[in-house]
Structure formats: structure tokens, C-alpha cells
Amino acid sequence: MSQDEEAERKLRHELRNKEAEKRALQGMLKQASDRIEDLVESDCEEENKESASKAAQRYRRAASE
């Protein structure tokens, strides 16, 4: 295997690892959004509910990118 082929193989492997890491982080953001929304449904002040809902929306957007 030439040096170029070996470098390409390593880069492809690293890319796959980064893509898997991204998917894992997106899943964590989605879970955080779900938990925040569950908390919002509990007895909270309206101002806190609005703030938490906005945070959950931001996390969902970040998770979908």
C-alpha cells in the first residue's frame, strides 16, 4: 500500500469516527430536549417554562444539523 493510499485510509477511518461521534452527540441533544420538555410540563413559572422551551428548540435544531 502506498503512502497516499495509507493516508487516505486513515483519513476515511477518522471521518467515519467523527461522523459516529456527531450522531452520538445529536442523540444526546435530542434526549436533553425531551427531558427539558418533560420538565416544562411540570409546575414551573411561566417565564421558566418559556426559557426552557426555547432551549429545547435550540438543542433540537443543533441536533438536526
Mean pLDDT for 21-46 is: 87
Please name the amino acid found at residue 49: K
pLDDT in tens, 9-26: 999 999 999 999 999 999
pLDDT at 26: 93
pLDDT at 48: 83
CA-to-CA dists, residue 39 to 33, 51, 61, angstroms: 10, 12, 19
Arithmetic mean of pLDDT over the chain = 89
Full-model pTM = 0.72
Mean pLDDT for 27-55 is: 85
Residue whose C-alpha is closest to residue 23's, from 34, 31, 12, 35: 31
Domain boundaries along the sequence of the chain: 3-64
